[in-house]
Amino acid sequence: MSSALRSRALQAAGSDDHAGVFDEIARAVADLIEANVTAGAVRADVEARTVLRALSGLIIMKSDGDRRAESVKLVDLLWQGMQTRTSR
């Protein structure tokens, strides 16, 4: 997943167009979601922009306290919500 996101982000990195960069990352996430939907691991109604908005919480977290543990909890919560009932 990280290599796909990194690839898309690097393609858009030379641009000052932040919306364009977001769109590139959203397309990469959409590709990952589509592959997981096809594999039966993720619900078909999951949208890339929704996932990115949920992940944005990781970016704005305060650095004090146990940020790593909170990050793991947030990602786990997001992943559990995205999964199909049969893939849990």
The 10s digit of each residue's pLDDT in 15-60 is 566 677 788 888 999 999 999 999 999 999 999 999 998 888 777 7
Contact between 24 and 9 under an 8 Å Cβ cutoff? The reply is yes
Higher pLDDT, 66 or 35: 35
Place of tokens 């290599």: 3
Of residues 6 and 65, more confidence is placed in 65
d(CA 82, CA 88): 10
Cα–Cα dist 37/43, whole Å: 6
**Inter-residue contact 26 to 48 (CB < 8 Å):** yes
- Cβ distance 68 to 44 under 8 Å? no
Both tokens assigned to 48: 């890339």
